[in-house]
Amino acid sequence: MSAKIKLAIFASGTGSNYQAIEQAIRAGKLEAEVGLVVCDQPEAKVIEKARQNNRPVFIFKAVDYQEKAVFEQAIINELEMHAVDWIILAGYMRLVGSTLLKRYQGRMINIHPSLLPAFPGLDAIGQALKAGVKVSGVTIHYIDSGMDTGEIIAQEAVNVKIGMTHEQLQTTIQQIEHDLYPRTIQQLISKGDSF
Ligand code: GAR
């Protein structure tokens, strides 16, 4: 039996997508293991979730480093120490820089709560509501140097109903994310080799 693909989950907040990935692994729907959780917010809820699952967690504060290249190198050291194959961004609210890209491009994906290229960047859900669109959704894409611009891997649409609040649209979108992300990761890793 070959070794399982190792994922690193990068997150900045609640970690519901992280949790959905752990659940899919436990349910045998995703043949991988979480080798590391990386978090740039020391108070984020995802940290507690990762600890409950006994996962190694690398926590950093960007302000403690001179520049992005320096903390990204520190992240790479951790990723290498834990023999990580794929980087899964799950609510990591930071633009990935050239240091990480050089090492992991093609093995680094993100989930975004809109149908890209519509509404990139912060608060995609608020942007969609403000624009009055009738359809929004979820996009999973490879990371490149832009803000939510990498090649699209999977998308799923959501109807935006009249009068829907931010919270309601977010809940609907996250339900889709929690199913689509583990399924898409499984498809990707079953296609590729590890490093
Ligand atoms: C998710 O909805 C994800 O799509 C979004 O942050 C949320 C994180 O939730 N990501 C972005 O907006 C990235 N631009 P979670 O911490 O509960 O998984």
Instruction: Output the DSSP codes for 43-112.
Output: T-HHHHHHHHTT--EEE--GGGSSSHHHHHHHHHHHHHHTT--EEEESS--S---HHHHHHHTTSEEEEE
| C-alpha 123 to ligand 1 mean position (Å) | 9
Whether 118 shows a pLDDT value over 90: the answer reads: yes
The whole-chain average pLDDT of the chain stands at 96
Q: Is the CB of 150 under 6 A from ligand 1?
A: no
Give residue 186's pLDDT: 98
| C-alpha 66 to ligand 1 mean position (Å) | 27
Atom of ligand 1 nearest to the CA of 111: 4
Q: Is the CB of 177 under 6 A from ligand 1?
A: yes
Tokens of 185: 């990761």
| C-alpha 14 to ligand 1 mean position (Å) | 8
Q: Is the CB of 158 under 6 A from ligand 1?
A: no
99-117 per-position pLDDT tens digit: 999 999 999 999 999 999 9
Tokens of 162: 């009249």
Q: Is the CB of 137 under 6 A from ligand 1?
A: no
Give residue 1's pLDDT: 52
Give residue 3's pLDDT: 82
Whether 170 shows a pLDDT value over 70: the answer reads: yes
62-94 per-position pLDDT tens digit: 999 999 999 999 999 999 999 999 999 999 999
Mean pLDDT for 172-194 is 91
Q: Cα dihedral angle (99, 100, 103, 104), rounded to 10 degrees?
A: -160
Using CA atoms, how far apart are residues 12 and 19, in angstroms rounded to an integer? Answer: 13
Atom of ligand 1 nearest to the CA of 15: 16
Domain boundaries, the chain: 5-190
CA angle 183, 185, 190 (to 5 degrees): 100
- Given 112, 141, 166, 178, which residue is catalytic? 112
> 13, 156, 34, 155: which is closest to 91 by C-alpha?
13
pLDDT exceeding 70 applies to what percent of the chain?
A: 97
The CATH number given to 5-190 is: 3.40.50.170
User: Residue 122: CB partners within 8 Å, gap ≥ 6?
Assistant: 93
Task: Examine the residue annotation and report whether 166 is marked as an active-site residue of this protein.
Answer: no
Q: Is the CB of 16 under 6 A from ligand 1?
A: yes
4-57 per-position pLDDT tens digit: 999 999 999 999 999 999 999 999 999 999 999 999 999 999 999 999 999 999
